[in-house]
């Protein structure tokens, strides 16, 4: 074999081996492609399954949304930030008295009367700024009539664009009910005022003849009478005085209810007021063997500014009540100087007794329903206590 | 290294120096592969270094010159074998800038284990492009030949300035289009 043949022989061998190597690599690659294809098919199947599931979920969400949208009791409107309607439901079309086709060509501002356009624009701006806004506004029907509505509007993004969804609820019925309630309340207040006026007038009318009865019985009592007659006239006088007191209380209540109770602001002696109040219950107390005690702190100013009549009434009522419900022991009135603020002295008037007291459950009701307490003069406030009701007075 | 580098080199040797020379350098190099190359195979890059060195020894042409000639030839072959890669770009600079981001990406899809050089490019000016070659194989002469082949393919003329290898092994080329080329 010549040199050239040898070279060609070697070349042939190299090329044969290269071909074999190429075939091996081709086989390897084919297997790779086969497996890749298989994996790809599985991947496609998985992907199809996921797409199907996602589609199913989307359809379900769509159905749910459609059901809510179409069968809502409220009108629903979706519009862009310029107010152009993107979608609306049948309920809103019904409320406005237009067709769905007509709504789709409308602008939000076409749905309100001229007088409400400012409110509508301001509300739209608020929704854009804050994301949510609830407000009341009148809507305009196709026939030109209006109805009041409550709107809950919220902003959201769709494909990078801001849209607003508004839930519109007709509140005509609610508004009517509110107006009726207001009218009923006004009527009740008017009736109550009339009742108070009637009571005030009646009490006044009754008091005049009562004063006549008491005066005449006193005059009669001053004449020569036998003991039995004296006792009878005395009974007439006492009964008259009791009745007059009840009438005065009724008159006070009606004055308070009608807001006609004016408080005086005049200088008075506290000790004098207390003395008169104590004297008023002294007879009853001594007849029952109950001891009456009155302790006044030396720091207490005697000369005060206020309504002495009302203060005496309060002290008398507290003492009278204490004596009434105490069968033995004592009733005491204690006056203390609490503090000085803004040139005024704060006083505490506490009445305590050894009587049956007031149960805890009745205590709030007692003070709540007591006109004398709740309507006590502003210069005189009351602090509740278990068995020692007290009054607090400001003095200059 | 992919077999196409070897097959194309040996084809060029045969074409330029005859099949005897091709056989001689293979036989004298004592190659692990025995000189049997297929373009889709993968071989040790030291074999190409040995083959080029042997060719240089036999022809007395310096190795860098041989590698640059080979690089230029290889680019021409690429345009024939993989024409699809050469349809998008309209200038040599555009093509060179797309090597890393497009061509190498596609090559890796076909050969995930391929060890490719990295080319970083930066436009210095409208007519000047900086291209830095990074590769552990240090075949920067082949890279330079490829750049020349690229310019030739797009019918452009340019000066190629080459800086010595930097500390990190990268070799910087600055390719500046000549005015004649711009005018044409």
- A–B interface: beta-carbon pairs under 8 A: 35
Q: What is the pLDDT of residue A91?
A: 93
Q: Residue A26: its chain B contacts at CB < 8 A?
A: 40
Sequential DSSP letters for A202-238: HHHHHHHHHHHHHHHHHHHHTS---HHHHHHHHHHHH
Q: What is the pLDDT of residue B112?
A: 83
* Partner-chain residue, chosen from B19, B23, B38, that has the shortest CB–CB distance to A22: B38
Higher pLDDT, A201 or A236: A236
Q: Indicate whether A65 pLDDT > 90.
A: no
Q: What is the pLDDT of residue A396?
A: 31
* Residue of A21, A28, A33 to mutate when probing chain B, most B C-beta within 10 A: A21
Complex-level ipTM beyond the 0.90 threshold = no
**Minimal Cα distance from B14: which residue of A?**
A11
**Cβ partners under 8 Å of residue B90, min gap 6:** B154
Please count the CA atoms within 13 angstroms of the CA of A145 that sit on its side-chain side: 7
Could you report the per-residue pLDDT of A275-329, keeping only the tens digit for each? Answer: 988 888 888 888 888 999 999 998 888 888 888 888 888 898 889 888 988 888 9
Could you report the per-residue pLDDT of A164-177, keeping only the tens digit for each? Answer: 999 999 999 999 99
Q: Indicate whether A370 pLDDT > 70.
A: no
Average pLDDT over residues A153-166: 92
Please give the angle made by the CA atoms of A77, A81 and A82, to the nearest 5 degrees.
95
Q: What is the pLDDT of residue B168?
A: 75
Token digits of residue A341? 């603020």
**B23/A17 touch (CB, cutoff 8 Å), yes or no:** no
pTM of full prediction above 0.90: no
**B41/A25 touch (CB, cutoff 8 Å), yes or no:** yes
d(CA A37, CA A14): 34
d(CA A211, CA A217): 10
Helices and strands (H and E) in chain B: how many: 8, 4
What is the nearest CA distance from A46 to chain B, expressed in angstroms? 23
Residue among A321, A345, A346 nearest A333 (CA)? A321
**Minimal Cα distance from B34: which residue of A?**
A14
**Minimal Cα distance from A17: which residue of B?**
B36
Q: Residue A16: its chain B contacts at CB < 8 A?
A: 36
What does the mean pLDDT of chain A come to?
A: 85
**A7/B19 touch (CB, cutoff 8 Å), yes or no:** yes
Phi, psi of A395 (to 5 degrees): -125, 150
Could you report the per-residue pLDDT of A203-252, keeping only the tens digit for each? Answer: 778 878 888 888 988 898 889 989 998 888 888 888 888 888 787 777 77
**Cβ partners under 8 Å of residue A379, min gap 6:** A263, A265, A305, A306, A307, A393, A394
Q: What is the pLDDT of residue B180?
A: 59
**Cβ partners under 8 Å of residue B60, min gap 6:** none
What is the nearest CA distance from B87 to chain A, expressed in angstroms? 27
What is the nearest CA distance from A39 to chain B, expressed in angstroms? 17
Q: How many other C-beta atoms are found inside a 10 Å radius of the C-beta of residue B69?
A: 18
Query: Could you identify the residue written with the tokens 């809103």?
Result: A92
Residues of A near B (Cβ–Cβ under 8 Å) read 4, 7, 10-11, 13-19, 21-22, 25-26, 29
SS3 A276: helix
The tens place of each residue's pLDDT in chain B, 184 residues long, gives: 889 999 999 999 999 999 999 999 999 998 999 999 998 889 999 999 999 999 999 999 999 999 999 999 999 999 999 888 888 778 999 999 999 998 899 888 888 888 899 999 999 999 999 999 998 888 999 999 999 999 999 999 999 999 876 777 789 999 999 875 444 4
Could you report the per-residue pLDDT of A244-276, keeping only the tens digit for each? Answer: 878 777 777 777 776 767 788 889 999 999 998
**Cβ partners under 8 Å of residue B176, min gap 6:** B127, B128, B129, B158, B159, B161
* Partner-chain residue, chosen from A4, A11, A25, that has the shortest CB–CB distance to B38: A25
Q: Indicate whether A1 pLDDT > 80.
A: no
The DSSP 8-state label assigned to residue A328 in this structure reads S
- Cα B140 to the center of its chain, rounded Å: 8
Give percent of chain A above pLDDT 70: 91
d(CA A374, CA A391): 12
Q: What is the pLDDT of residue A59?
A: 93
d(CA A230, CA B142): 149
d(CA A339, CA A317): 26
């Amino acid at each position: 074999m010549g040199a050239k043949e040898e070279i060609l022989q070697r070349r042939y061998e190299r090329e044969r081996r290269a071909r074999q190597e190429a075939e091996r690599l081709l086989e390897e690659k084919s297997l790779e492609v086969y497996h890749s294809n298989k994996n790809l098919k599985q991947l496609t199947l998985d992907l199809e399954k996921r797409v199907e599931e996602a589609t199913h979920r989307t359809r379900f969400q769509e159905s749910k949304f459609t059901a809510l949208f179409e069968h809502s009791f409220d009108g629903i409107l979706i519009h862009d930030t310029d107010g152009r309607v993107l979608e609306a439901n049948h309920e809103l079309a019904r409320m406005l008295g237009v067709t769905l086709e007509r709504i789709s060509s409308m602008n939000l501002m076409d749905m309100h009367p001229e007088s409400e356009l400012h409110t509508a624009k301001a509300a739209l701006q608020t929704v854009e700024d804050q994301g949510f806004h609830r407000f009341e506004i009148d809507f305009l029907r196709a026939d030109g009539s209006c109805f009041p509505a409550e709107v809950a509007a919220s902003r959201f993004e769709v494909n990078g664009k801001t849209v607003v969804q508004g839930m519109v609820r007709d509140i005509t019925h609610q508004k009517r009910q509110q107006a009726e309630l207001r009218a009923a309340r006004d009527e009740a207040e008017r009736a109550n005022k009339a009742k108070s006026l009637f009571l005030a007038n009646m009490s006044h009318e009754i008091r005049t003849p009562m004063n006549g009865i008491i005066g005449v019985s006193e005059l009669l009592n001053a004449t020569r009478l036998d003991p039995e007659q004296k006792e009878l006239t005395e009974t007439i006088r006492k009964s008259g005085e009791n009745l007059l007191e009840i009438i005065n209380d009724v008159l006070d209540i009606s004055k308070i209810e009608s807001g006609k109770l004016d408080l005086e602001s005049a200088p008075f002696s506290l000790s004098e007021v207390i003395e008169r109040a104590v004297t008023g219950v002294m007879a009853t107390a001594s007849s029952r063997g109950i001891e009456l005690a009155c302790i006044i702190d030396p720091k207490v100013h005697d000369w005060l500014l206020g309504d002495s009549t009302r203060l005496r009434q309060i002290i008398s009522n507290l003492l009278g009540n204490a004596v009434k419900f105490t069968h033995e022991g004592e009733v005491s009135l204690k006056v203390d100087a609490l503090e000085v603020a803004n040139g005024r002295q704060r006083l505490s008037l506490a009445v305590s007794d050894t009587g049956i007291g007031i149960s805890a459950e009745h205590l709030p009701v007692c003070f709540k329903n007591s006109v004398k307490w709740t309507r006590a003069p502003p210069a005189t406030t009351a602090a509740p206590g278990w068995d020692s009701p007290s009054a607090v007075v400001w003095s200059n | 290294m992919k077999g196409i580098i070897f097959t194309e080199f040996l084809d060029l040797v045969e074409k330029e120096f005859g099949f005897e020379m091709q056989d001689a350098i293979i036989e004298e190099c004592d190659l692990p592969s025995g000189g049997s190359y297929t373009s889709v195979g993968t071989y040790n890059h030291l074999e190409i270094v040995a083959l080029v060195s042997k060719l240089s020894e036999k022809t007395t042409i310096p190795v860098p010159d041989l590698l640059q000639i080979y690089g230029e030839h290889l680019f021409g072959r690429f345009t024939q074998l993989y024409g699809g890669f050469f349809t998008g770009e309209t200038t040599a600079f555009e093509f060179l800038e797309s090597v890393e981001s497009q061509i190498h990406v596609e090559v890796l899809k076909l050969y995930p284990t391929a060890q490719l050089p990295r080319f970083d490019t930066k436009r210095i000016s409208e007519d000047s492009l900086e291209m830095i070659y990074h590769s552990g194989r240090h075949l920067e002469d082949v890279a330079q030949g490829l750049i020349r082949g690229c310019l030739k393919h797009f019918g452009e003329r340019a000066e190629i300035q080459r800086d010595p290898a930097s500390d990190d092994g990268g070799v910087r080329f600055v390719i500046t289009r000549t005015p004649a080329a711009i005018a044409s």
